[in-house]
Amino acid sequence: MDSWATQTELIELAPRRHTILIVDDEPSNIRALGEILKADYRILVAPTGLEALRTVEATIPDLVLLDIMMPVMDGFTVYRHLKEKPEFNHVPIIFVTSSADIENETKALADGAVDFISKPLSPPVVRARVKVHLALKDRNDELVRLVSVDSLTGIANRRAFDNALAMEWQRAWRVRAPLVIAMIDIDHFKLYNDCYGHQAGDECLRMVAVALKDQASRGSDVVARYGGEEFSAILPGCSTDNMAELAERMRASISDLAIPHAASPTSGVATISIGMACLALSCDGTAYPQAAEAARAGASRLVNSADQALYQAKKMGRNCAVCVTEPMADFR
**Active site (catalytic) residues:** 229
Distance (Å, whole) CA 276 – CA 283? 22
DSSP 166: H
49-58 and 75-83 helices, crossing angle to 10°? 20
For 101, 124, 161, 308, the CA distances from 61, given in Å and listed in that order, are 27, 22, 22, 38
Q: Which helix (H) or strand (E) holds 293?
A: helix 292-315
For 140, 160, 214, the CA distances from 146, given in Å and listed in that order, are 10, 10, 21
For 24, 98, 100, 108, 109, the CA distances from 103, given in Å and listed in that order, are 19, 10, 9, 9, 10
Distance (Å, whole) CA 136 – CA 152? 28
